[in-house]
Amino acid sequence: MCLQWPVDSYGFPSNVREIGMNGDFTGDGRDTVGRRAFLRTAGATAAAGATTMAGSDDAAAQEEATRYEFGGEVPGWQGRAPPEIEGETNPTVELEAGTEYTFWFENIDGAPHNIAMQDSEGNTLVESETVTGEGSTASITFTATAEMAQYICLVHPTTMVGDAEVAGEVEGGGEGESGPSVETLLLVAALVMAFVSPVLFALFLFSRSREGDEGEGELTTR
Ligand SMILES: [Cu+2]
């Protein structure tokens, strides 16, 4: 008694307290802090990655955004660069959401022109100054978003307009991750049900036959 009591009273409550501390503080605290730290780390990594990607290429040109060049004239945008749009009038540009682009043009005919990015409803998202005179230039630099639908000269919106097709979505990454996981959960649930339901049915039949036996037994007894 004398030996056991102090040991128990000392050991047991202190254990409980430790567990309580872990549950209250380390548990919740670690969870929240962990998640925040993860988000912070993920953000920092993404930022570092972007910086590294932008900075790692030697050429100064590579540090800049992906560059599209056009000749600007009233009849339409004349594609100059990159090669896939060269020589085309109002070429469709294929952009990637989250990537930075520069759209640059040189004024070919001297009329006033500018260049802007619009969504599918014609809302202007980014626009340059308007420049007049042959050889004058203007540009916009922007990060592509899914809503972007066309590049356009706001002075000549009917002729100087080309489609922008934006692949991928900046916010889509998270949704994309949660989408498959829900599908996976449903698939797993369906598979589990497929395996379990015959067993349940068998159990049901089994229990029913037992009840039946008992019932018969009772009936016989009466
Ligand atoms: Cu124009």
- Domain range for 149 is 64-167
50 and 76 share one domain: no
Q: Name the residue type at position 64.
A: E
Q: What is the distance between the alpha carbons of residues 79 and 68, in angstroms, rounded to a whole number?
A: 8
pLDDT digits (tens, 9 = 90+) for 19-51: 444 444 444 444 444 444 444 444 444 444 443
Domain co-membership, 145 together with 179: no
Regarding whether 214 and 155 lie in a shared domain, the answer is no
How far, in Å, from the CA of 218 to the mean position of ligand 1?
Answer: 96
Look up the CATH number of the domain holding residue 148.
Answer: 2.60.40.420
Phi, psi of 115 (to 5 degrees): -135, 135
Question: Could you tell me if 125 and 146 lie in one domain?
Answer: yes
Backbone φ and ψ for 167, nearest 5 degrees, come out as: -95, 145
Report the separation in Å between the CA atom of 143 and the middle of ligand 1, taken as the mean of its atom positions: 23
CA of 130 to the centre of ligand 1 (A): 9
Asked whether residue 102 falls in the same domain as residue 48, the answer is no
Instruction: State the distance from the centre of ligand 1 to the C-alpha of 61, rounded, in angstroms.
Output: 27
Q: Give the distance (Å) from ligand 1 centre to CA of residue 139.
A: 13
Residue 100 CA to ligand 1 centre (angstroms): 23
Q: In terms of domains, do 145 and 162 share one?
A: yes
Q: What is the whole-number distance in angstroms between the Cα of residue 131 and the centre of ligand 1?
A: 9
Ligand 1 centroid from CA 142, angstroms: 20
Question: What is each CA distance from 56 to 42, 61, 82, in whole angstroms?
Answer: 20, 12, 21
Domain check: are 105 and 140 in the same one? yes
Centre of ligand 1 from the C-alpha of residue 118, in Å: 15
Range of weakest confidence among 69-78, 152-161, 169-178, 201-210? 169-178
Spacing, Cα 148 to ligand 1 middle (Å): 19
* 153 has pLDDT over 80: yes
pLDDT digits (tens, 9 = 90+) for 97-141: 999 999 999 999 999 999 999 999 999 999 999 999 999 999 999
Report the number of distinct structural domains present in the chain. Answer: 3
Give the tens place of pLDDT for each residue, 154-173: 999 999 999 999 998 655 44
Specify whether 157 is located in the same domain as 211.
no
How far away, in angstroms, is 150 Cα from ligand 1 center? 14
Kindly report the pTM of this predicted structure: 0.51
Q: Are residues 106 and 136 in the same domain?
A: yes
The protein residues having their C-beta less than 5 angstroms from ligand 1 (an ion) are 113, 153, 155-156, 160
The verdict on 160 and 69 lying in the same domain is yes
CA of 76 to the centre of ligand 1 (A): 8
CB 10 within 8 A of CB 18: no
How far from 37 is each of 30, 43, 171, CA to CA, in Å? 10, 10, 20
